[in-house]
Amino acid sequence: MKRRDFVKLLNGSLLGSTAVSSGLFAQKAVSKARRGMPSPRIQDIDVIATAPAGLRLTVVRVRTDQDGLYGYGCATFTQRADLVVAAVERYLKPLLVGRPADRIEDTWQLCYGSSYWRNGPVLNNAISGIDTALWDICGRQAGLPVYRLLGGKCREAADCYAHASGAEIEDVVDRARQLMDEGFRHVRVQVGVPGMAGYGSGAGAAAVTKLHEEPVFEPAAYIRRALDLLEACRESLGDKVELLHDVHERIPPTLALQLAKDVERFRLFFLEDPVSPEDIRWFRHLRNHSTTPIAMGELFNSPHEWTPLIAEGLIDFLRVHLSQAGGLTPCRKLAAFSELFGVRTAWHGPGDVSPIGHAANLALDLACHNFGVQEYYRFPERVKEVFDGCPTLENGYLYANESPGWGIEIDEKAAKKYPYGSFEKGERLDYNGGWGVIRRRDGTVIKQ
């Protein structure tokens, strides 16, 4: 088309429609206005630290120099929460104030290299708070939810799994059946070991002989109990429900090999964290000796940890905690990398992820083709009091808030009602929110 004809087309002379012509000019004017707008710049960064449900949630707020344009990001690392706050306020804020808010990739790389030593959980979570806040700003500026900025939906909602736990096997089976009645098609089952510290369940009142006064755990006793649980669940619940189980890295690698083989007959959706991050070389043996699907990653901080497991096809589901890995920017790349090798996502989504973090999980769940399943956390009323616009669950599916950005607003007055020190009785206040110690009968510390 010649230039003069193109000009006539824009003027409407070749369209024969005043309405269409007006629409083209309006679109052109908007485009020009957007191109002419200056980039928003980071004016201030602060941290909202709150614990409405007894778990310390860290949210970073990035304000721009454009009136009313700001964003929230998740930087939640409950076990070292106060250190993340300092990392944001004392190190990243001075680095970033005055810089463009719409250069997300550039900002992430800048923050990542800013400490020279990197891939640690404190800095990664601090970076995540900044990163996910910038994505929120981008969505608000565009008037779109973040998943649309990532390419739009691959599915309507995210299929979720919920937790069925109890001190006794019968309690777990009953709870799993209740969750199935609520619409869940995937259920993670955990049962306590009598007298011992089990993960995700009560220990019961039985006495265990030990050489110390702290909680005790014995791998062999746990394995026997877990096998009994899975057998009872499969017999009672049938084949229509997908069963999941979390080892939580508490057993030696050789026992993990045997467990992965023994649970094959129960046809698990996945077996989670059979060994610790320090023992990832054992995944090669797991893959060679068992067909049980394996999930791993919630403790991962670094590409050095997940890259070999994905590239060699040694895991089936990636369980990375988004803020632990540095936020949405690295994790969308991680999801794309995983897709090349047939690994599906199952992002970490417990109570110690803020609703902002859950919204970021969900954006990837919707936009990434290799989604597997999403861990579900039922937001308590006090969390919803602070965070307005949490993702919603219906029939086992999690649906995104369709408002721009994450679609979540924070009530600061409500957040201040639940400061970091506002733990209910029984929470881990003595350890400043960190994990306590669990030992074997002889006193050996157990990894967890």
pLDDT, one tens digit per residue, over 275-326 is 999 999 999 999 999 999 999 999 999 999 999 999 999 999 999 999 999 9
Instruction: Give me the pLDDT at residue 255, please.
Output: 97
Instruction: Give me the pLDDT at residue 10, please.
Output: 37
Instruction: Give me the pLDDT at residue 213, please.
Output: 93
pLDDT beneath 50, residues of the chain: 1-36, 425-427
Helix (H) or strand (E) holding 27: helix 18-36
**Distance from C-alpha of 411 to C-alpha of 263, rounded to nearest angstrom:** 46
Over residues 205-243, the pLDDT tens digits come to 688 999 999 999 999 999 999 999 999 999 999 999 999
Q: Is 199 a known active-site residue?
A: yes
The DSSP string of 44-82 is EEEEEEE-TTSS-EEEEEEEESSTT-EEEEE---GGGHH
Instruction: Give me the pLDDT at residue 205, please.
Output: 67
DSSP bridge partners of 158: 398
Residue given tokens 């769940």 in the structure block: 365
Instruction: Give me the pLDDT at residue 12, please.
Output: 39
353 touches 325 (CB < 8 A):
no
Tokens describing residue 50: 């709150």
Q: Which of 299, 280, 358, 349 is nearest to 121 (CA)?
A: 299
Q: Of 70, 199, 418, 420, which one is the catalytic site residue?
A: 199
Tokens describing residue 177: 């059946």
Q: Name all domains of the chain by residue range, CATH numbers in brackets.
A: 3-33 (no CATH), 42-147 (3.30.390.10), 151-431 (3.20.20.120)
Q: CB neighbours (10 Å) of residue 267? A: 14
Q: Is 289 a known active-site residue?
A: no
Q: Of 186, 245, 248, 321, which one is the catalytic site residue?
A: 248
